[in-house]
Amino acid sequence: MHVVVNAAMSADGKLSSRRREQIKISGSEDFERVDRLRADSDAVMVGVGTVLADDPSLTVDETELLPQSDDGTPRQPARVVADSRARTPPDARIVDDAATTYLLVSGAAPVERIKALSATDAEIVTAGETRTDLDAALDVLEAAGIEQLMVEGGGELIHSLFAADLVDELTVFVGPTVIGGRDAPTLADGEGFIDEFPALQLDGVERMDGGVLLRWSVPVSEPNS
């Protein structure tokens, strides 16, 4: 599986405000690029923090970019939520019938939450005891035919993916604004690294929407000899 993390951040590295409300950082050119990246991916993933904050649909707007299903309708990429305790609301847009949705829960998810979500069309994948085991869960997705996985955030999930060495590419739009706030989400939150910081290779820099798009890849780490 190829994992591409994509996000938009302010010039000071924030994904949204301290109120955790979605902020429009990208301009039209970047949003069109994101739409194409979604269309080129087999699935689009977020953490449940993003679902609770933004209620995203994660669908492709330009449906001409999509392949056709057997019934002739455009086939949207699947949606994926890392959701250890099954906190996704059953009426969230991400579990509507626009696309297949996988909810990656852990063994700690309360039975009544799982029951409520089982009434939606979402497929529930259990991996990990108290927190979603991303390595194991991504293996399940790969077995289901997901070869390119796009991850849109937020900062907790992105940190965990780097910590588990699961990221292949990182694209970041850095927009022309300052959000500030010590508690505002950043590109990689979680506990943070104190050594063995993930290394990146810069593959491209492009001016866009008054900001800049940075394309990074994650070099394959050499096994210890």
Ligand X SMILES: NC(=O)C1=CN([C@@H]2O[C@H](COP(=O)(O)OP(=O)(O)OC[C@H]3O[C@@H](n4cnc5c(N)ncnc54)[C@H](O)[C@@H]3O)[C@@H](O)[C@H]2O)C=CC1
82 binds, among ligand LIKH6CAM, ligand X, none (CB under 5 to 8 A by kind): ligand X
- Of the candidate spans 17-25, 71-79, 112-120, 192-200, the one that interacts with ligand X by CB under 6 A turns out to be 17-25
Nearest residue (CB) to ligand X, 48 versus 95: 48
Site of tokens 């289901």: 144
Q: Hey, what are 186's tokens? A: 């950043």
Which residue in the set 59, 84, 120, 126 belongs to the binding site for ligand X (CB under 6 A)? 84
> How far apart are alpha carbons 114 and 105 in whole angstroms?
9
Which residue in the set 22, 100, 148, 217 belongs to the binding site for ligand LIKH6CAM (CB under 6 A)? 22
Return the exposure string of 23-38: e unless at least 16 CB atoms fall within 10 Å of the residue's CB, then b. bebbbebbeebbeebb
Which residue in the set 48, 103, 125, 141 belongs to the binding site for ligand X (CB under 6 A)? 48
84 binds, among ligand X, ligand LIKH6CAM, none (CB under 5 to 8 A by kind): ligand X
Nearest residue (CB) to ligand LIKH6CAM, 54 versus 126: 54
Size of residue set near ligand LIKH6CAM by CB under 6 A: 16
The H or E element containing residue 45 is strand 43-47
Q: Contact letters (x/-) for ligand LIKH6CAM, 27-46, by CB under 6 A?
A: -------x-----------x
Nearest residue (CB) to ligand X, 46 versus 99: 46
CA-CA-CA-CA torsion sign (93, 48, 167, 211): positive
Q: According to CB under 6 A, which residues from 58 to 97 bind ligand LIKH6CAM? A: 58-59
- What's phi and psi for 131, nearest 5 deg? -135, 150
The H or E element containing residue 98 is none
**Minimum distance from CB of 46 to ligand X (Å)?**
5
Which letter does DSSP use for residue 191 in this model? T
- Torsion angle (degrees, nearest 10) of CA 55, 68, 126, 158: -50
